[in-house]
Amino acid sequence: MYTLNLIATYIGEIYTRNDLATRYLDEYKELLDNKDAILNKFETISKIILDMNLPSNSYWFNKANMFSLFSLLGTIQVGDIPENLRDKLIDFESEIPSDYQIAAKEGVNNRKERLIRQKYLKELLGLEP
């Protein structure tokens, strides 16, 4: 379900719980035209994350945080990802805003919490002021 939610977020938008995942399962059960492009994008994102070589106990390996990081990286071009992303993520871990912490622990699949996490990550990546 985790992967289905990542795919549904990539195809659609941030949503609550599994709403789009279950809808898209029904809509695309016969054919998903852009499946190869999605797979290629996911492999690229996975490689970027693995190549950062984050510590094994990194905050970003939390299920909710990885979901947010992975789904946000899916929305931007590889060339727009800051070269110092690893450093930015590690720095963020040292002073995590309280509302982000809550959004990463409670109601993690709710749209509101997903949007809070995305907001901070967009700022971290320089995508929002």
Summarised one tens digit per residue, pLDDT across range 15-68 is 988 888 889 989 998 899 899 999 999 999 999 999 999 999 999 999 999 999
Q: How far apart, in whole angstroms, are the C-alpha atoms of residue 105 and residue 99?
A: 10
pLDDT score at 129: 60
Mean of pLDDT values over 80-91:
94
Q: Is the pTM of this model over 0.95?
A: no
Q: Give helix 35-51 / helix 63-73 axis angle, nearest 10°.
A: 120
3-class secondary structure, 40: helix
